[in-house]
Amino acid sequence: MSQKTGAGRPARAREIGVGGFAAGARARRYVGEVLRSGRLSYGPFHRRFEEAFAAEHDCRHAAFCNSGTSALHVAVQALKEKHGWADGDEVLVPSVTFIATSNVALHNRLTPVFVDVDPRTYTIDPAQLAAKLTKRTRAVFPVHLLGLPADMDPVLDLARRKGLSVVEDSAETMFARYKGRKVGSLGDIGCFSTYVAHYIVTGVGGLTTTNDPDLHVRVRSLMNHGRDSIYLSIDDDAEATGARLHEIAARRFRFVSVGHSFRATELEAALGLAQLEEKDRIVRARLAMARRLSAGLKEFEDRLQLPYCPPDREHTFMLYGLVLRGEDKTALVNFLEDRGVETRDMMPLLNQPVYRRLFGDLEPRYPVARRLNRSGFYIGCHQYMTPKDADYVVAQFRAFFRRR
């Protein structure tokens, strides 16, 4: 299937990435409607997308912004303002997650306190939370990783008993249930991403979900420079007359918080809505791809830890995580990359150069995270892959393990 290069390695016969995007007929139609409308600012596609996304995740409110990181940032800022947290207060963060989870704590002048993760699910280990609590702990940031919900009941129980807020970082998990409840509806606020390679791809984009109307208003204000919530959209004065119109006019340029320009456009909202309306097909395709990969890789389970889903939750497989048993992953991922199978490290955090400078060498205190940093990675598992792609991926694993 491949040719030899001058370096003696096979040329990259095919490119199987960790995600993809293709604009279907519905997406093209919706984007066309936006372009014909002449309106790019917050409008009807935003409202439809937010309402449908909130309903899909069993929430009353959703707000669409320009990235999942922005969604996390304003969610944390809104909670800090609402509850009067002080600079330097602490939040509990899993030791394996994308760096944005803990960066937003730093950007909000809070202190991330890391918690090791479960060795099978790679999500925050609830049994280790209590030991990390101090008088300054204000929140827990459980992360639903790779498409799998975290173990939420112990987190929520601790939060209730200790008066902590819960921010669900669900950037990598949409539509999944934990004990029958949808991600994004379990804590105070949920945060999602629609960046490239996610379930719904809008180029840039993210969402918050909540059942707390006060938090929702605060989040929408912070996305809009901290503007007075009386006027967050150009439609907010559309039906106002008399004294009400005059009040809105007087407060249009009134700002109540130090906010941000985190807004998205109607184009991204149109793309998001089109894909949300096709989410059942997207999830079915991801699950089918995961089953095919697992069936093919099962023969290597003595050397390769495959994805695990506890019986009390669903896995919607944004990504397909793997961990070599007792081995460094470098040789394997290089072998795959040389043959056109894209890999990514499994969300290494504590060993990042910037965090080593800020916090020192934390890895020895987090043995599961250290093992995943050394041996964990993920590959694609998405609706743009074909059965032949999956079989090709499995064949490359087989070629690697059988040569050793």
What is the pLDDT, as a whole number, of residue 404?
64
Output the 3-class SS for 206-244. Answer: EEEEECCHHHHHHHHHHHECCECCCCCCCCCCCCCCHHH
Provide the terminal-to-terminal Cα distance of the chain, rounded to the nearest Å. Answer: 21
What 8-state DSSP symbol labels residue 173?
Answer: -
The answer to whether the pTM exceeds 0.85 is yes
Token pair belonging to 249: 């006019």
| Sequence spans of domains, the chain | 25-276, 279-402
Whole-number Å distance between alpha carbons of 14 and 340: 5
Q: Which residue has the tokens 């559309």?
A: 238
**Dihedral sign (CA 319, 320, 326, 331):** negative
Contact 141, 117 (CB under 8 A): no
Which helix (H) or strand (E) segment holds residue 10: the answer is: none
The CA–CA distances, whole Å, from 31 to 39, 63, 169, 201 equal 11, 20, 29, 14
Whole-number Å distance between alpha carbons of 147 and 159: 23
Residues of the chain with pLDDT under 50: 1-9
Contact 398, 339 (CB under 8 A): no
Whole-number Å distance between alpha carbons of 179 and 310: 10
Q: Which residue has the tokens 């598992």?
A: 381
What is the pLDDT, as a whole number, of residue 403?
82
CATH class of 279-402: alpha beta
Residue 62, phi then psi, degrees to nearest 5: -140, 150
SS3 category, 169: strand
What is the pLDDT, as a whole number, of residue 91?
98
What lies within 8 Å, CB to CB, of 247 at 6+ separation is 230
* Helix residue ranges per DSSP H, 227-326: 242-251, 266-276, 279-297
Identity of residue 31: V
Integer-rounded Cα Rg, in Å, for the chain is 22
Token pair belonging to 179: 């004990």
What is the pLDDT, as a whole number, of residue 2?
37
Contact 229, 220 (CB under 8 A): yes
Identity of residue 204: V
Identity of residue 49: F
The CA–CA distances, whole Å, from 340 to 298, 307, 330 equal 22, 22, 15
pLDDT (tens digit per residue) in 92-144: 999 999 999 999 999 999 999 999 999 999 999 999 999 999 999 999 999 99
What is the pLDDT, as a whole number, of residue 7?
44
What 8-state DSSP symbol labels residue 4?
Answer: B
CATH class of 25-276: alpha beta
Whole-number Å distance between alpha carbons of 234 and 240: 12
Cα–Cα nearest to 332, from 273, 400, 237: 400
What lies within 8 Å, CB to CB, of 83 at 6+ separation is 138, 165
Whole-number Å distance between alpha carbons of 111 and 370: 21
The CA–CA distances, whole Å, from 116 to 60, 127, 369 equal 32, 10, 6
